[in-house]
Amino acid sequence: MKKFYLLALATFALAFSMEAQTVLLDETMEFYTLGEMGDQNPAVWTSWTNDGGVTLDGMLVSDAQSIDTKSLLSLGGEGRDPVLLLGNITSGDYTLQFEWYIPTDKEGYFNIQGETPPVGTAFSGVFNSSNIYFNEDGLNPGLLTDYTTGETGSFPHDEWFTVSIYFDVDALNYTMTVDGTAVNAAPVGFQADATLGGINYFPGCACSEYYTDNLLFVEGTIGGTDDFSASNFSVYPNPVQDVLNIRSASTVDAIAVYDVLGKLVLQTAPDRISPTIDMSSLNSGAYLVQVTIGDASKTVKVIK
C-alpha cells in the first residue's frame, strides 16, 4: 500500500508540472454576472461604440448554452457589435482559441481587426480579414466561409466546436482551423495594417445567435510539440460535480478514470478535441484521470 501511495504522489506531481507558456487571456466566462457585459471587463470586452460599457451594445453573459455554466452570447436584431481586444500587437506569433456553439438555422460571424482605438473612441473599422461566416444568413447550414480568400470549411450545429487562429504578426498573416481541420490552404495575409488588434464578434443578421466559451490567447502555438503544455491542456472544474471538461488543442483518443486504489471506474474514447466525461455516477472523493492524445498520456488528480 505504501508503494502505491508513493506512486500516486509522483503521478500527481507529474500531472501539475506542466510546461510554462505565456497565457495572455484565459476567459472561462464563469466570473461574469449574467446579463449585459457592460463594464464588467472593459479592458478585454468592448463594443463598436467603445465607450467603456455605457452603451449596452456588447456581449451578453448567458447560461442558455455553456461548457460549464456561462458563456458569452452574440445575438442579432438588438444593435449589438461586440469586440474582443487583443492588445494592438505588432510583432511575434500568437494563437487564439475559443469554443463556439451555433444553434440550427442560426448564423455565427467574426472578423479580425487591425489597430483598435483607445476606450472612449468609437471604432471606424480596420479590417485585417474580410467577413468570416458560419452559416451565412442562416441559409448555409454547416458551411463556413472566409471571404478574405473565399475558402470554405465545415462545422457542426447544436454542439460545441473549437476555432483556433494562429497569427504570425511578423509575417502579417493568419491561419484558421475548426476542430483541428485547416480552413486556409496557406497563411492569409493581413488586409489593412501591421497590427493584431482584436476580434469583432458582430451579430449582423437577425438570425445571428452564437455562444463563445473558454477563450484562450497565448504567445506562440497551441498544440505544438507538447500537447500537454499548460496552454494546450487543462481540466475543469476541479472539484467536479457531474461533468469534467477537458480543454485540449489536439484530439483526445482516450480517457480513463481510476479511484485512489488504482481501480478503473470509467473509460471512454471521445476521439475529439476538448471532450467531456460524465462523472455523476461516482462517489465523492479523489480520482486520477488519465488522458491520452496520440502516443502520450497525462494523469491529473480531480476531486469530486
Domain ranges in the chain?
Answer: 2-18+232-303, 23-219
pLDDT, averaged across the chain? 88
For the segment(s) 23-219, the CATH number from 3.30.450.20, 2.60.120.620, 3.40.50.720, 2.60.120.560 is 2.60.120.560
Q: Which of 174, 163, 176 is nearest to 274 (CA)?
A: 163
Q: pTM of the predicted model, to two decimals? A: 0.72
Half-sphere exposure of 44 (CA within 13 A, CB side): 14
Distance of alpha carbon 27 from alpha carbon 21, whole angstroms? 16
Distance of alpha carbon 260 from alpha carbon 301, whole angstroms? 10
pLDDT at 86 over 60: yes
What pLDDT score does 231 carry? 53
Q: Cα 236 vs. chain centroid, distance in angstroms?
A: 14
Judge: domain 2-18+232-303, CATH 3.40.50.2020.
no
Neighbouring C-beta atoms of residue 84, cutoff 10 Å: 24
Residues 6+ apart with CB under 8 A from 75: 60, 203, 208, 209
What pLDDT score does 229 carry? 64
Whether residue 156 is preceded by a cis peptide bond, meaning omega within 30 degrees of 0, is no
- The dihedrals phi and psi of 85, each to the nearest 5 degrees, come to -90, 125
Domain 2-18+232-303 shares a fold with domain 23-219: no
Distance of alpha carbon 274 from alpha carbon 290, whole angstroms? 14
List pLDDT tens digits, range 261-304.
Answer: 888 999 999 998 889 999 999 999 999 898 988 878 888 888 89
What pLDDT score does 16 carry? 34
Q: Cα 11 vs. chain centroid, distance in angstroms?
A: 28
Name the band, by pLDDT with cuts 50, 70 and 90, for residue 15: very low
3-state secondary structure of 136: helix
Name the band, by pLDDT with cuts 50, 70 and 90, for residue 18: very low
Q: Which of 277, 269, 235, 274 is nearest to 99 (CA)?
A: 274
Cβ pair 177, 183 in contact under 8 A: yes
Higher-pLDDT residue of 199 and 7 is 199
Q: Cα 91 vs. chain centroid, distance in angstroms?
A: 22
**Alpha-carbon distances, residue 106 vs 69, 163, 181 (angstroms):** 21, 17, 22
| For residues 213-236, average pLDDT | 74
Cβ pair 133, 160 in contact under 8 A: no
Q: Which of 144, 222, 218, 211 is nearest to 183 (CA)?
A: 144
| For residues 236-243, average pLDDT | 87
What pLDDT score does 4 carry? 36
| For residues 238-249, average pLDDT | 87
Measure the CA angle with vertex 197, ends 224 and 67; round to 5°: 55
- Residues linked to residue 302 through DSSP beta bridges, in sequence order: 287
Query: Residue 282 burial by CB count (10 A; 0-12/13-18/19+): exposed, middle or buried?
Result: middle
Distance of alpha carbon 204 from alpha carbon 57, whole angstroms? 12
Q: Which of 259, 257, 243 is nearest to 291 (CA)?
A: 257
pLDDT at 129 over 50: yes
Q: Which value, to the nearest 10 degrees, does the dihedral of the CA atoms of residues 99, 104, 105, 111 take?
A: 10
